[in-house]
Structure 1
Amino acid sequence: MNFILYSDIGESAINKSLGLPEYSYYFVLKAFRTVLTELGTVTVVQHPETEVDPLFDAHRQRGEECVFLSFSPPNKTLIDLRCPTVSVFAWEYSNIPDELWDEDVRNDWRIVFGRHGKAITLSSYTARIVREAMGATFPVLAAPAPLWEQFADPRARFGARLPPSQSQLQLRGIVIDSHLLGLSADGLIAHMTFSQTTDEPEAQTMPPPAQPEAQTAPPPPQPEPEPEQMPAPPEPAAPAKTLRYRLAVTKRHLLTWYREAVRDLLPLWLARAVAVSGRSGNTLARAMLGYESNAIPPLPVALEDSPKAIEPIEEVTPTPIPPVQELEREPEATVDLSGVVYTSILSPKDGRKNWFDMVTAFCWTFREVEDATLVLKMSERDLSRYHNTLLTLLSQLAPFKCRVVTLHAYLDEAAYEELIGATSYYVNTSLCEGLCLPLMEFMCCGKPVIAPRHTAMEDYIDADAAFIIKSSLEHNVWPHDPRDLFRTLRYRLDWESICTAYSDSYRTVKQQPEKYLDMSMQAMARLESYSSRTVVKEQLRSFFQQPVEEYA
């Protein structure tokens, strides 16, 4: 069997694609590729519309079977190829899209599956809802990403062990530590003022001391004027708006407009050129107008900030750069962790991840606990997209004694394994999940978890390895449907249940180490039986050996 594989995001661009909707499909393809190599030959393509059919024709001339596996949502998978095509996808809602919009027939997934004749999903939950739409006999395979063997080395170091009391992470990126922020609700509203003095501020002088008067007879008292005769107090003169003030206000609003309305629409090379030219122009303007004076405070959004400022567009180049080269541009950082460490990896822009509930429940539960730490590894390229939201949330929750550490960095393999080793529990508070690779990866290394048991997590989450969060159904929309019509269901979480899971897990690792170790063993056993290469390979072998007529 010959397998042709495709994912919209390739290895050279993976670190630039943090937070994109199809970001995780690259890792799913990477995990499946190892298993598929044991079943046949594997070819990875970048342009399926032009590469797949020629490969298929060549294999067919040699009498060889061939199948194209598109690691993409069905609405982004081609349906007009000669080569047999299968969409390998994750889906986390109660039904598949079965309506047309935007004049694209692929938005009705029933049409896509009908053309392909088969499908591969990443969970039994998704396979079940596909059969509900396509019929009970429709050939759909539920096969998770085979991760077990991939984490053999970190599992040998961290599995079935109590978490370390102290650990240290070495990474390249930006670290936001709540203990170093000086959080306060008073800082929620930032008043920006501009000095309206001249370039040469007037000297602040004290009035001269009064001279002693000669000892003379006091003057006779004067009658006080009638109220109507009292002179009206002079109205304070409005401060003059200097040229510097007007330029600062103009620049501030222009930058906000550009970043919110224009920048993400530009090609990367053009956005970078605009940023560089803007920085050069501002430097010249500051020199000409005397902006280096202390009369005007620097604006936090100025383009003339140093290259290490939070402005990720400055770091982007128009050509793909391997992850290692990109990481070398980030500042080095060291993170010291201690106590009970909770970790979660998520995209802050993805509302399904529900990280507000995760953070608020953590800070409330451990508001008087100093040795509890929540590590948020954010999968997002642009720090400015969530930085203010994060700081506002933490300021609203302050004061609290626990610690929230946010990692804005692409972790290489070594740093990622260090994070796994430093973690006591992995936390998931998602409203729905198509698979959740990080959760599975931490469980592969023996880390118990806090998570709900719904959607894809039904396959591998149970009370033996997890503190389960209560959940219930709620109405929702398909995430890629621009009409925003309520057509499906997802889950809402019980916030108090999240707090209970935090407190129970903390008490377990502190007071019941034998129970923690048992949960660690159960987590590994569950993932070995679910996502090992042997298990997934047999599932794939059986699926592809089915007679062709069963797919029709």
Structure 2
Amino acid sequence: MNFILYSDIGENTINKSLGLPEYSYYFVLKAFRTVLQELGTVTVVRHPETEVDPLFDACRARGEECVFLSFSPPNKTLIDLRCPTVSVFAWEYSNIPDELWDEDVRNDWRIVFGRHGRAITLSSYTARIVREAMGPGFPVLAVPAPLWEQFAEPRARFGSGLPPGQSRLQVRGTVIDSHVLGLSADGLIAHVVFPQAAEELDEAPPQLPPEPVPEPVAPPAPPVPAVPAKNLRYRLAVTKRHLLTWYREALRDLLPLWLARAVALGGRGGNTVARAVLGYESRTLPPLPPSAPQPARQQVTPVAAVAPTAAVAPEPQEPEVSVVLEGVVYTSILSPKDGRKNWFDMVTAFCWTFREVEDVTLVLKMNERDLSLYHNTLLTLLSQLAPFKCRVLTLHAYLDDATYEELIGATSFYVNTSLCEGLCLPLMEFMSCGRPVIAPRHTAMEDYIDEGAAFIIKSSLEHNVWPHDPRDLFRTLRYRLDWESICNGYAESYQIAKQQPEKYLAMGRHAIARMQSYSAGAVVKEQLREFFQQAAVEEQS
């Protein structure tokens, strides 16, 4: 059997695609590729419209079977190829799109499935709604991404033990720590002077004394003394700070890439105040020498120089920051622009539940390349919640495999507060390493979330729109979470982590067993084998 695989996001573009609606399809393809290689020959293509049919013709000439697996939504999967095509997709809403818009027939998924004749979904929830639209006899396979084997090493290291009381991570990027932000509920964000900022803001503007109130019969009060003049260094520092904020929020995304790079490189030495406000630690490692390798993710590919004789400047390294995690640690990995992730409820419930508790941390690993797209929203939300004693730590940083595994090991509970899910790979990955979770039991999570491994969040249905429908018409349903239930999940999990270690370990073991029976390579391979063998029999008959 020959398998041709395709995902819109590939190995060379994944670092530029974090946070995009379909970036996770790349990781799904990688997980399936290992299993499919045990069933036949695998070829990955980048341009299916020109590459797939020639490969299919070559296989047919050799008398071999061939199928094209497009890891993408049905509305982005080709329907006019000679090669048998199957869309491998995730879907988290109560029905599939069954209407036409923008003069594209693929927006009606029934047409796509009718042309393909079969489909592969990542959850039984999605398979069920496909059958509701296509009929009970339509061949659709529900199979998760086979990721169990990928986490064998970290599972062996810490999957059967309690999380450490303290862990240290070395990350390259920006860390926003609520403990050092100077959050103020009255002023929203207090302007805290960090050590770096003290060099430039060497004096604060003097405060005017209160104007005396004259007595009715007394002579006029003496004039208020003149305010001492602000020195030039202070005025320049304030001007630079406000210009930098204006540039990032109003202008940067409008500039050509080469000009934005030139501005960034030219102003690199003057961003001390901005880095302090955004939460960089005062002590960071010195920059790497020019010969050091660049990080694999979240880096912009260098472009050609503007002048023919000018050399291309190397992309500046993000600072390396040491992060210490202590106490009970909750972690969630999400795209802040994805409204389905519902991270506002996650943060507000956390800060409310643990407003008087110090030894608890919520780690938000944000899958987004541009910090400016969410940092003001995050800081405003935290300021509105202040004061609170718990800690919210946001990682806008590249995590290589080793650091990601260390984060799993440092975590006590993974948290998911999504309104709907197509699969949720991070949730499955943490469970595969023995970490209990707080999550709802709806959409794709119905397949693997149960009370043995999770504190289940209550939810109920609400109206919504198909996310890719530009008309924004209410045509489907998703889930609304019970906010109090999120708070209860935090409180109950904290109590078990602190006072019932045996129950915590039992939940971790149950999570491991659940993932082994659900996403092990052998389980997924057998499901795929039966699906393709049945398809071959139907084609021959």
Interval containing the TM-score (normalised by the shorter chain)? 0.7 to 0.9
Cα separation, partners in 2 of 1:269 and 1:56, compared to 1, 3 Å: farther
> Aligned pair 1:336/2:320, yes or no?
no
User: What amino acid is aligned across from residue 361 of structure 2 in structure 1?
Assistant: T
Cα separation, partners in 2 of 1:403 and 1:423, compared to 1, 3 Å: same
Secondary structure class of the residue paired with 2:357: coil
In the alignment, which residue of structure 1 is the partner of 2:38? 38
* Pick aligned residue for 1:455 from 440, 443, 460: 443
Instruction: Write the distance in 1 (CA, Å) between the matches of 2:149 and 2:108.
Output: 37
- How far 1:408 moved relative to its partner? 0.8
In the alignment, which residue of structure 1 is the partner of 2:126? 126
- How far 1:52 moved relative to its partner? 1.1
Equivalent residues in 2 for 1:253-402 (5 A)? 263-264=252-253, 268-269=257-258, 271-273=260-262, 279=267, 316-318=300-302, 329-402=317-390
Secondary structure class of the residue paired with 1:545: helix
The answer to whether the 8 Å contact 1:255/1:301 transfers is no
In the alignment, which residue of structure 2 is the partner of 1:15? 15
Cα separation, partners in 2 of 1:180 and 1:254, compared to 1, 3 Å: closer
Instruction: Write the distance in 2 (CA, Å) between the matches of 1:494 and 1:127.
Output: 26
Cα separation, partners in 2 of 1:255 and 1:512, compared to 1, 3 Å: closer
- How far 1:265 moved relative to its partner? 6.1
Cα separation, partners in 2 of 1:11 and 1:487, compared to 1, 3 Å: same
Instruction: Write the distance in 2 (CA, Å) between the matches of 1:547 and 1:48.
Output: 22
Instruction: Write the distance in 2 (CA, Å) between the matches of 1:481 and 1:488.
Output: 11
Structure 2, unmatched stretches of 5+, are 192-205, 207-215, 227-232, 278-285, 288-297, 305-313
User: What amino acid is aligned across from residue 537 of structure 1 in structure 2?
Assistant: K
Equivalent residues in 2 for 1:388-537 (5 A)? 388-537=376-525
Instruction: Write the distance in 1 (CA, Å) between the matches of 2:412 and 2:85.
Output: 42
> Aligned pair 1:543/2:537, yes or no?
no
Instruction: Write the distance in 2 (CA, Å) between the matches of 1:189 and 1:339.
Output: 26
Question: Deviations along 1:405-457, whole A, 9 cap, x unmatched?
Answer: 11111210100000000000000000000000000000000000000000000
Instruction: Write the distance in 2 (CA, Å) between the matches of 1:42 and 1:328.
Output: 38
Secondary structure class of the residue paired with 1:156: helix
Question: Deviations along 1:32-88, whole A, 9 cap, x unmatched?
Answer: 000000000111111111111111111111111111111111111111111111111
Cα separation, partners in 2 of 1:263 and 1:118, compared to 1, 3 Å: farther
The answer to whether the 8 Å contact 1:272/1:316 transfers is no
The answer to whether the 8 Å contact 1:175/1:333 transfers is yes
- How far 1:318 moved relative to its partner? 4.7
User: What amino acid is aligned across from residue 131 of structure 1 in structure 2?
Assistant: R
Equivalent residues in 2 for 1:165-314 (5 A)? 165-188=165-188, 263-264=252-253, 268-269=257-258, 271-273=260-262, 279=267
- How far 1:129 moved relative to its partner? 0.5
Equivalent residues, number:
494
Cα separation, partners in 2 of 1:266 and 1:141, compared to 1, 3 Å: farther
In the alignment, which residue of structure 2 is the partner of 1:55? 55
Question: Deviations along 1:446-482, whole A, 9 cap, x unmatched?
Answer: 0000000000000000001000000000000111111
Question: Deviations along 1:472-526, whole A, 9 cap, x unmatched?
Answer: 0000011111111111000010000000000000111111111111101110010
Secondary structure class of the residue paired with 1:186: coil
The answer to whether the 8 Å contact 2:416/2:438 transfers is yes
The answer to whether the 8 Å contact 1:272/1:317 transfers is no
The answer to whether the 8 Å contact 1:268/1:316 transfers is no
Instruction: Write the distance in 1 (CA, Å) between the matches of 2:301 and 2:427.
Output: 32
Secondary structure class of the residue paired with 1:450: strand
Question: Deviations along 1:293-332, whole A, 9 cap, x unmatched?
Answer: xxxx988999xxxx99xxxxx9623569xxxxx9992211
The answer to whether the 8 Å contact 1:172/1:327 transfers is no
Instruction: Write the distance in 1 (CA, Å) between the matches of 2:365 and 2:130.
Output: 32
Cα separation, partners in 2 of 1:245 and 1:467, compared to 1, 3 Å: closer
Question: Deviations along 1:78-124, whole A, 9 cap, x unmatched?
Answer: 11111111111111000111111111111111111111111111000
Instruction: Write the distance in 2 (CA, Å) between the matches of 1:145 and 1:445.
Output: 16
The answer to whether the 8 Å contact 1:344/1:375 transfers is yes
Secondary structure class of the residue paired with 1:11: coil
Instruction: Write the distance in 2 (CA, Å) between the matches of 1:378 and 1:446.
Output: 22
Question: Deviations along 1:123-143, whole A, 9 cap, x unmatched?
Answer: 000000111111111111101
Secondary structure class of the residue paired with 1:374: strand
- How far 1:16 moved relative to its partner? 2.1
**Percent of aligned pairs with the same residue?**
83
Instruction: Write the distance in 1 (CA, Å) between the matches of 2:416 and 2:315.
Output: 27
Secondary structure class of the residue paired with 2:534: coil
What is the TM-score with the length of structure 1 in the denominator? 0.80
User: What amino acid is aligned across from residue 459 of structure 1 in structure 2?
Assistant: D
Cα separation, partners in 2 of 1:110 and 1:446, compared to 1, 3 Å: same
In the alignment, which residue of structure 2 is the partner of 1:164? 164
The answer to whether the 8 Å contact 2:300/2:315 transfers is no
Secondary structure class of the residue paired with 1:334: strand
User: What amino acid is aligned across from residue 429 of structure 2 in structure 1?
Assistant: E
The answer to whether the 8 Å contact 2:172/2:320 transfers is yes
- How far 1:186 moved relative to its partner? 3.0
The answer to whether the 8 Å contact 1:268/1:318 transfers is no
User: What amino acid is aligned across from residue 272 of structure 1 in structure 2?
Assistant: R
The answer to whether the 8 Å contact 2:183/2:190 transfers is no
Cα separation, partners in 2 of 1:422 and 1:248, compared to 1, 3 Å: closer
- How far 1:172 moved relative to its partner? 1.3
Cα separation, partners in 2 of 1:375 and 1:139, compared to 1, 3 Å: same
The answer to whether the 8 Å contact 1:366/1:402 transfers is yes
After TM superposition, what 4+ stretches of structure 1 lie above 6 angstroms from structure 2? 244-258, 297-302
Secondary structure class of the residue paired with 1:147: coil
C-alpha RMSD of the superposition: 3.8
Cα separation, partners in 2 of 1:499 and 1:38, compared to 1, 3 Å: same
